[in-house]
Structure 1
């Protein structure tokens, strides 16, 4: 039988440190909205106006591969395309291929924190290339562990509890796992001294040693089946489960977490003689307002609107879920984005990760 350690190494090798179609392809010339299965709310997707056609792929890797093949004219996309991607995956796109959104009125509705992801974390003044339609944090979810719930003031260090050895599902992204280890030390990757901290290698090794799996997407099944007692997952995956499963409890430590973003990006038509259809701006706007926003929130997707617009809507939600959907301003200030690494940074952090796996 494959050992747990070997399984972790296999999973880690697939997840780089940076980060079959589910619907029939659009008919020739029709603009497409390309997404990953489960990464667009069904209620919102059902409202997508004609002539835009939805097309869902199994994974972000498949979506990026399709875009790359279209760039090489191996499998040209029909008409223009909108892409729905997480920020880590979106940063792997060739920026030169993206078309500016030209939706200033919509971007102005968003909170200031959405400006950086709208530029794909380029310097201030860069042209917005993305519309950040949802954001959130990473949560620590417990299953039937009231003893650990009472110790939640320990924050991310709770993951190192001896009773959780081999009972934790960690994110598949090594970078997020490293962030969790840094936060256990009171640091984040934004600290210029983070990598040189002498305690980090051992801290990361201890954290990885607790893991049953590195897989927040399918690993949740391990939590629900009782094989795991704790999981670290994006808030949008946790919220729907917390609403219906009384065995589960979740919290965001006071030290915060990395932020995740969901973005809409635009590819121009590959046929220069074709018509570039207008963006479905009304459809996007509907996702930022009631009644549709309630359905997005129910699925764990929080639009990055100013707090004064979100808080009245959240008052209708159970009190225990409100800070998971929208953390307090103090906690949110301790959260950080994860811009793409430079090649040199990637090499340094990959070395740290490889060392943690080999211990």
Structure 2
């Protein structure tokens, strides 16, 4: 039996590579003769750098940059393709994982640190930058990144906005010192969600609460992004509000696509194509995917659902092995998988996290037993 293990990261517990290894360990306990291929995936969110490391020769570049609060931290990015391409993870310098729960405040958080990593890569002479957009703490439309690259944001009093969220009180954009005016770098944006910039399915409505925004302020932040969009339209004659997938990373996807002349791709599809995923698969293969929490947000472009869409009509038996599953939306989720199983059914999140390795390994062993039974039925 050919089994391909392709989970996303289990946020807060395992990288996708670690999850792949744990699932393999559990399967082997059910049957040491399983033919297992490890193909971890990512969607442009947390842990995407680990997946690029898994499949590529790479060099790690370490830099001191600012986190979303403006505090200096250690961060890193990768050089691949003989140093011609940089892979930068938004979350490694501007991510939710870098701030405490009580520090969530999108009115002051910005993405400046990610811009510092981009500037470092440009200064090293790369020809292409792949920027993964998932896991962001910010709703600044990527303005922090642009600020780090020389874009100036001017307020109502004709003063530069020097810190905080640069789209608040924004009146004018000055590109005179924009470094990309004199640089020829290709940008690729990898998105983990396919949502628009504005509206009921936009970045504020879908992810505002997760980032600490109170619901009564949603409309205010929509207006900040709308204003930024209008000012951008005046300069570039391009409407960021119409960009498909523009809501990723707190609206950064829409604006960076315009300012960088970038292309936006589904993070999962890009990685699957990058590793030539179809070349590994065999007829009647079993694929095991998963992530930490399979819920309604997963449908908006997270790796397991994106993988399901990628494998559509390929006669693949697809299993989602997850930390937890939101069974309130199981009808929606079941359209994408042949089998959905949670590693932990307890409502005690701390218990699930503390025992996550053991629980995922045990679940994988049970999946192995199910696959043995399925094989015997199919061959009878």
TM-score (norm 1): 0.25
- Determine which structure has more spread, i.e. the larger CA radius of gyration: 2
Higher relative contact order (CA 8 A, sep 6+): 1
TM-score (norm 2): 0.24
